[in-house]
Structure formats: structure tokens, C-alpha cells
Amino acid sequence: MSQLSPVKFKATRRPARPRPELETSSSEPSLGPNWKLAGAAALSAAGLLATPAAAQSSNTAQVKVMSLNVWLDCKEGVDGIAEVIRAGNPDVVGLQEISDCAQPLSEKLGYQLVRQTDWKSMLTRLPVESVTPARHGMVVRLSNGQPLAVFNAHLHHTPYQPYQLLGIPYGDGAFIKSESEAQEQSRLARGADVQSLLDDMATVDVPKVLTGDFNEPSHLDWTQRAADSGRHPLKVEWPASKAFAEVGLKDSYRMVFPDEMTHPGDTWTPHTRADDPKDHHDRLDFVMFGGPGLQARDVKIIGPDSDIVITPYPSDHRGVVAELTVTPAP
């Protein structure tokens, strides 16, 4: 998402260009159609997580994972984005809306850069073993020998269904009134992105983490309670978050803060007032995870009026950093 005008913002969805080669590059085979079954099987077989940054032993460990939309290729400067990442202190960070500023950002922070596309990349302190076939993710090797697959998503931004439901002009989105219309519009906008991600996840049989700006709210937030309170215009079981949940991925923020009314966790946007009639605040940025024995120990929102306060703040999305812990199954 962006606060720019619809015409200007649509222009920022850049055409694909040749991707730089990575040390861990791999070929890109065609994707299979049975993503639900394949994704569920891969996640159910997943192992355990750990990280060298905070490993307590080979049996108990933790890893910090961050998601951050840097806003139109660090338009407010690399230094500000670097400050946000340092404040979160992640082992791995998934970045969205990033292109040319990825390299100087990685050099400033001392993280390894893994480019995915022209508009998203990942940074990591951990050694990278491979990149997944569709380049949605990478597999890193942890100091205790365990692998971890980290995926990073930036789902398509328009049409944006909350604005369509609220009669807020944005792009070429038509106004809609019902949950079924919102779901249909969501699938048209992001269904191909979600399927491609889930197909790619199914190619690796290891524990999985997903970061991303979904450009879509969560079904765990737009509940009947939230609709009855007037927070959202109606209940919507949003398809993107539901699809990831159906293959075993858990929403780290909602695992730590299950009450959507007391902890909305809004990441969109720190640039407008909560009562701005031309906007609607929401939680669009996520760290999700899947694997037996894996739990979310803590999650923090980073930005103005957040758990970790950064001012001035250099993005139109707040960041999310999750601390995940794992205990092996007996």
C-alpha cells in the first residue's frame, strides 16, 4: 500500500527485469496445480527451528524474524530504514517495495542480501544454502544444523477491498457491499500470488516462516465482534490469510495477542489519523510460521505509537518482529 495517488502508486509496480544471480540461485520449474494438498503435506512434515543468535541448546532455541515494507524503495532514505531494522534486531528480515536501496541497506547493516524480484528482497545473518524454485523463499542453515525456509511476500495492492467496501476511491476498484464480493475481488487481485507462494513452499520439506505485506487484512481481525463494534464495516473471512492458515501456518501476532479487539496491531498506516474518512487503519503486515514444537514467544510492532517507537518514521507501514521459540517433540 501507499498513500500516493492511485495513478502515481500504480506506476510504482515496476515491470520485471532480469534478476541478479545469487550464490544460491536455482532454476525455476513450472509450478504444480495441487497446492493445497502439497502445501499441507510439506508443513505437516516440517521439523524444528533454532538460531545461532540466541540458541540455548540443540534442544531449545529461538529466532527473530521481521517484516518491513520500506516504502517505495526507501524513499525517506536508507539510514532511516536501517534504524528500524536495528531496533527490531532480527536474524532474518523480509523487505517489500525494495529495489535499488537493497544493496546499500545490506552493506550498512552487515546482513547478507538475497534478491527475490525487482520489488522484494530478504536480509539475513544466517548462512544461505539455497533459493526456492520460484524465488519466493530461501533455506538457511542454523548453527545447530537445522534448516529453516523463510518466504517473503508482497501481494498485489489493487483493487484494495477495505476501500472498496468503504466507498474510498483507489485505483480502478469498484465499490462493493458484501463479504462474498470482497472475497471474490481478493481472489482476483491476489489469488495467483497466493497460489504461487504455496506451490513454492511445498517444494521444501523443512520448517517454514512467511513474512509479508499482504495488502489485505486478516480473517482473524475482521470478525463479527469487530463488525458489531463498528471497527470494520462487516465480517470478512479474507482469502489470503485463510489460505495460509489452511496449510498450517500460524499468525504470530494473533498467537501472542489473540483478542483482536484489545490488540488490533494495526500496521497500515502511521501517516493518517484513525478517524480519517479517506483511510481505514488495519493490520496488513505479517510474520507467520509452521512446524511442530514451534511457538511465538513475543511479537512487537515497530513505528510511531507502537511497541518499539521510531520517530521520525521512514515508511507508510509499521514493521513487525516476531521472536519464535521451538522445543522438539518427544
pLDDT class of 57 with cuts at 50, 70, 90: very low
pLDDT class of 293 with cuts at 50, 70, 90: low
By C-alpha distance, which of 221, 300, 318 is closest to 261? Answer: 221
Lowest-pLDDT range of 100-114, 159-173, 292-306? 292-306
**Which residue(s) pair with 295 in the sheet?**
325
232-263 residue pLDDT tens: 999 999 999 999 999 999 999 999 999 999 99
pLDDT class of 291 with cuts at 50, 70, 90: confident
Position 14 scores a pLDDT of: 30
Contact 140, 133 (CB under 8 A): no
Contact 51, 92 (CB under 8 A): no
Whether 9 shows a pLDDT value over 60: the answer reads no
pTM summary value? 0.84
How many Å apart are CA 185 and CA 243, to the nearest integer? 15
130-188 residue pLDDT tens: 999 999 999 988 777 778 899 999 999 999 999 999 999 999 999 999 999 999 999 99
What is the per-residue burial (b if ≥16 Cβ within 10 Å, else e) of 257-287? beebeebbbbbbbbeeeeeeeebbbbbbbbb
- Helices 179-201 and 35-44: angle between axes, nearest 10 degrees: 60
How many Å apart are CA 188 and CA 180, to the nearest integer? 12
Domain ranges (residues) in the chain: 30-326
How many Å apart are CA 147 and CA 61, to the nearest integer? 13
Query: What is the assigned CATH class of domain 30-326?
Result: alpha beta
Give Cα 263 distance to the centre of its chain. 18
